[in-house]
Amino acid sequence: MHFIVRLLTVILCFASCKDNKNKLLDEFKEVNQEGWNWTEAKSFAFEITDTTYLYSLECGLRITGSYKYSNIWLLYTIDGPNASLKNQFQIPLSDNTGKWLGVGKSNLISYDQPFIQNAKFKKGKYTLRLNQNMRDEKLGSVSDVGLKIYKGNKIY
């Protein structure tokens, strides 16, 4: 039994080391407890120094169990070297029965949603802004929103 626990610990350690090696950014911004206004962008700065790899961007989201919708629409804007990109994406939060799809309890539920995968970036500094794009001007029960960037496959 102890051998299995030690083996699992070693495997998890190696898995987390690999994940951290390929992670360029993992940052969260707190949302105002009174509600996330759709004009209030959460900004994330990052720099691409190695253009020989593809990159994937993932949105992290934390909500409370009192969130009143089954999804959330987010609008992102990326400004970088000689380019700007604006688009929206959706994060499904619950199934048809109302069961949360994220990880956690009703006091805080976490989600990770890829929204750009295997993208080529030019070398330089970038700013990504996230806004909520729902019908409520002030969206309640959102705790934090974040950005995770992973280095993917090498470009040949």
CATH of span 24-154: 2.60.120
Separation of alpha carbons 101 and 110, rounded Å: 9
Give me the pLDDT at residue 61, please. 98
pLDDT digits (tens, 9 = 90+) for 31-54: 999 999 999 999 999 999 999 999
Separation of alpha carbons 79 and 17, rounded Å: 30
Separation of alpha carbons 61 and 28, rounded Å: 8
Residue 21, SS3 per DSSP = helix
Domain borders along the chain are: 24-154
Alpha-carbon dihedral sign for residues 138, 116, 46, 152: positive
pLDDT band at residue 19 under the 50/70/90 scheme: low
Cβ neighbours around 39 below 10 Å, total:
9
Give me the pLDDT at residue 21, please. 74
pLDDT band at residue 90 under the 50/70/90 scheme: very high
